[in-house]
A and B are shown apart, each in its own frame.
Chain A
Amino acid sequence: MRRREIIALLGFLSVGGAMALWGNLASLFWRPRFNKHTAQTLTAITDLMFPGDGLPGATELGIHNRIAAMSDLHALITDGVDWLDRRAKQQGAPNFLALDESAKSAAVEAAYASDDVATSQFIIKLRFYAGRAYYSEPVIKSAFPYTGPPQPDGFPDFQDPPR
């Protein structure tokens, strides 16, 4: 899945831009401020990104907790949440969580489209890790055909139209 990871994680950027981002991130002073508000915002974004649409949503499956446990993402997430909160304040709301659903959606879209590389990477990485975890969940996979493990049965119907 390595090429897929590269496409998903770096695809939005030039490779040169990604390298510059890495340099910037590495030079950041560590600020351990991943707090309850950060976690709640992360939950809201995860829910917005992978709501389920008839299947269990990502937060229902605890995907947000898995992302929160990825400590190497904390700096990126806390800065991203800051960005979203600042934007919400400019719109008269106390923070991102206070926005209604459509405004939340617009804010995440704006973060993704931001010229600030770290902010867009916040959304890209969140989408990647949450999406990968979500669509790897057995309950989600079981709703799609041909998602089971390759072995031990293989695909006896490989010559036939898909079922």
Chain B
Amino acid sequence: MSNGAGWDVVIVGAGAGGAAAAYGLCQRGISVLLLDAGPRFDPAVDYPLTGSDWDAQDFPEKPGSTGKFTFAPGQKLTGVEPLLQSGSRGLGAFVTNGVRWMDKYHHVRGIGGTTLHFTGESHRIHPAAMKMKSRFGVAADWPIDYAELEPYYIRAEELIGVAGPQTQGARWRSRGFLLPPHPLSYAARTLGRGAAKLGLDWQANSRAALSVAWNSRPPCNYCGACNLGCPRGDKGSADITFVAAAVATGRCTVRPDSPVVRIEAGGTDRVAAVLVGRPDGSLERIPCPHLVLACGAVESPRLLMASGGLANESGEVGRNFMDTLEVTVGALHPDPQHGRRGLPDDAICWDFNAPDAIPGVIGGCRIGNASSESEIKGLAAFALAVPGWGRAHAQSVRRLWGHSLHVGAIGERLPNDNSRVDLDPEARDRFGISLARISSWLAESDIARLRFMAAKSRELLAASGVQEIFESYSSWDWFAASHVFGTCRMGADPATSVVTAEGRSHRWRNLWVTDASVFPSSGGGEAPSLTIHALALRTAERIGKDT
């Protein structure tokens, strides 16, 4: 199928979707060129986590590892939202100018993509959350159902080595997790006692982190620093799972530092090539018998729009943008917890995850131990969160260190006409290509969901025995998204979607998309990486079948 090109399939983006697509294709005997705009990371060198200054570090930035984008002006905040206003007891409100702060889209460019720094939650989407339009009258239905995706979930989980509990409610399984769940940390069990008082189910989170040795990788040693990068290789980031397995077939060539700046259309219904930017500013043309886009819900639509509006016959490219709807609440417990010990976000409550589980609002959420979202990973961060200075401050830091507990909730984010990704009319990258511009606007239903998430998080903390809530932040006034979806929606109708149920452009027969941009709905707060993997594996089975 190569038509004289060096590879059968060119994949743009080596994150969750591109890596899984590469693996799936290579397993079928198809050769792949896997391109990424960012660098290759070496875990042992780039994030050893053994230095005394470890807590002053974030996930490392390397040249090219962060994309550029812009934001449209933030939404005007209306009303008083005491539960949603980001702030702390010591510092007051963080945002007081009445406009939602468009801060950051958290992502990593590089081989492995954002999975390099993700916490490693490994979730299947709630089956009912795939049918939001037909069952609940909002958003859009997925053109496939959970049963269609389930075998691919299994395949992805087994390669990654996902550890999880026996059951996860509505997320039925044809086979149990192969790895046992991780034991809950001391802090998670403190919260679990609170959950029990409220009658909430509190279970081990399913995690892309090994609870036992798996595929020559060691088990997790519960260092709590997943977001800084895992030097051991027990976290199932895409580089050491899907990419490594694809390369092991001998059919996958990986090229980091290769930003694709344009897609070249062919004669009728096929794309012809991608143009890759070189460090000197020149462009390299790479022919594409098949092209898979997997750059995420911000960059994939950007690339299509910057390529003359490719695959945008419906006008839906860039629309239906959904970002992370999130609340995190921090509190002080009378007893030391030292919640950094153990897997971040190791326990979860799915009770409100179904689309109709929250009273009075459509769209679910999940609630969990948010030791990761708190970002209090070391003494300095904690000390700075304690108000004041001087001797009293020193004594407070000494007295309170280790007493913090955080609960967080992530919820369904419904699409609307005001949330989208388009091309910035002015800002351009070094190749002269317009940057992606993110517009995000919360509807009243999203805000209502946030209120429930915040109230329930506080309720759980109170039931767990905390004495004082000292900080809280939410996406009501602070945009800092990590999960983004929906800008190349999949669907059966070419008039309302960008790609088919198989992930192929409705028009371009050799153009495929395998990232979260194809999600018609976001799910009820589930981490998306596993679903991206599953969709990509499914798409990889279709590519080339009719050519």
Select which of A7, A13, A49, A132 is within 8 A of B380 by beta carbon. Answer: A132
17 A-B residue pairings within 8 Å (CB atoms) = A1-B56, A1-B57, A50-B389, A131-B389, A132-B384, A135-B382, A144-B401, A146-B341, A151-B48, A151-B49, A155-B222, A155-B340, A158-B222, A159-B185, A159-B342, A160-B186, A162-B402
Once the chains bind, are A162 and B338 in contact (CB under 8 Å)? Answer: yes
Q: What residues of B have a CB within 8 angstroms of the CB of A159 in the complex?
A: 183-186, 189, 342
Is B197's beta carbon under 8 Å from chain A?
no
Q: CB-nearest residue of chain B relative to A10? A: B94
Once the chains bind, are A155 and B376 in contact (CB under 8 Å)? Answer: no
Select which of B58, B384, B390 is within 8 A of A128 by beta carbon. Answer: B384
CB distance from A100 to the nearest CB of B (A): 15
Once the chains bind, are A147 and B379 in contact (CB under 8 Å)? Answer: yes
Select which of B92, B97, B221, B382 is within 8 A of A153 by beta carbon. Answer: B221
CB distance from A108 to the nearest CB of B (A): 8
Q: CB-nearest residue of chain B relative to A112? A: B389
> How far apart are the CA atoms of A17 and B92 in the complex, in Å?
14
Q: What residues of A have a CB within 8 angstroms of the CB of B49 in the complex?
A: 149-151
Q: A3-B480, A131-B380, A151-B225 are in contact. List 16 more A-B contacts (CB 8 A).
A: A2-B375, A3-B375, A6-B94, A13-B96, A14-B93, A16-B98, A48-B390, A135-B382, A135-B397, A136-B56, A147-B378, A150-B225, A151-B231, A158-B183, A159-B186, A162-B402
Is A32's beta carbon under 8 Å from chain B?
no
Q: What residues of B have a CB within 8 angstroms of the CB of A131 in the complex?
A: 380, 383-384, 389
Q: What residues of A have a CB within 8 angstroms of the CB of B381 in the complex?
A: 1, 4
> How far apart are the CA atoms of A4 and B384 in the complex, in Å?
8
Which of A's residues lie within 8 Å of B, judged by CB?
A: 1-4, 6-8, 10-17, 48-53, 55, 105, 108, 127-128, 131-132, 134-136, 138, 140-141, 144-162
Once the chains bind, are B375 and A11 in contact (CB under 8 Å)? Answer: no
Is B528's beta carbon under 8 Å from chain A?
no
CB distance from A67 to the nearest CB of B (A): 14
CB distance from B31 to the nearest CB of A (A): 37
CB distance from A13 to the nearest CB of B (A): 8
CB distance from A123 to the nearest CB of B (A): 9
Select which of A12, A105, A140, A158 is within 8 A of B185 by beta carbon. Answer: A158
Q: CB-nearest residue of chain A relative to B346? A: A158
Select which of B50, B56, B220, B379 is within 8 A of A140 by beta carbon. Answer: B379
CB distance from B220 to the nearest CB of A (A): 7
> How far apart are the CA atoms of A16 and B76 in the complex, in Å?
12
> How far apart are the CA atoms of A146 and B401 in the complex, in Å?
10
Name, among B56, B101, B232, B381, the residue most crowded by chain A CB atoms within 10 Å (CB to CB).
Answer: B381
Is B213's beta carbon under 8 Å from chain A?
no
> How far apart are the CA atoms of A74 and B93 in the complex, in Å?
28
Name, among B48, B224, B336, B378, the residue most crowded by chain A CB atoms within 10 Å (CB to CB).
Answer: B378
> How far apart are the CA atoms of A140 and B471 in the complex, in Å?
25
Once the chains bind, are A136 and B55 in contact (CB under 8 Å)? Answer: yes
Is B54's beta carbon under 8 Å from chain A?
yes
| A-contacting residues, B46-94, CB 8 Å | 48-58, 87-88, 91-94
Chain B 385-415: CB-based contact to A (< 8 A → 1; otherwise 0): 1000111011101100110000000000000
Once the chains bind, are A144 and B389 in contact (CB under 8 Å)? Answer: no
Number of interface residues of B (CB under 8 A): 69
Is B198's beta carbon under 8 Å from chain A?
no
Name, among A10, A134, A151, A152, the residue most crowded by chain B CB atoms within 10 Å (CB to CB).
Answer: A151
Q: CB-nearest residue of chain B relative to A133? A: B380
> How far apart are the CA atoms of A156 and B341 in the complex, in Å?
8
Once the chains bind, are B96 and A14 in contact (CB under 8 Å)? Answer: yes
Chain A to chain B: the 8 pairs with minimum beta-carbon distance, closest first: A154-B221, A16-B97, A150-B223, A14-B96, A158-B342, A155-B341, A53-B394, A11-B91
Query: Known: A1-B377, A136-B56. Contact between A12 and B389, CB under 8 A?
Result: no
CB distance from A142 to the nearest CB of B (A): 9
Select which of B336, B380, B390 is within 8 A of A135 by beta carbon. Answer: B380
Select which of A16, A52, A108, A135 is within 8 A of B383 by beta carbon. Answer: A135
CB distance from B284 to the nearest CB of A (A): 34
CB distance from B65 to the nearest CB of A (A): 14
Once the chains bind, are B52 and A49 in contact (CB under 8 Å)? Answer: no
Chain B 209-230: CB-based contact to A (< 8 A → 1; otherwise 0): 0000000000011111100100
CB distance from B366 to the nearest CB of A (A): 20
Select which of A53, A128, A132, A146 is within 8 A of B338 by beta carbon. Answer: A146
Query: Known: A4-B375, A151-B223. Contact between A51 and B50, CB under 8 A?
Result: no
Is B119's beta carbon under 8 Å from chain A?
no
Q: What residues of A have a CB within 8 angstroms of the CB of B397 in the complex?
A: 135
Is B99's beta carbon under 8 Å from chain A?
yes
Query: Known: A15-B94, A151-B231, A159-B184. Contact between A53 and B385, CB under 8 A?
Result: no
Once the chains bind, are B91 and A12 in contact (CB under 8 Å)? Answer: yes
Q: What residues of B have a CB within 8 angstroms of the CB of A11 in the complex?
A: 87-88, 91-92, 94
Q: What residues of A have a CB within 8 angstroms of the CB of B337 in the complex?
A: 162
Q: What residues of B have a CB within 8 angstroms of the CB of A7 in the complex?
A: 88, 91, 94, 384-385, 471
Query: Known: A10-B94, A150-B54. Contact between A16 and B99, CB under 8 A?
Result: yes
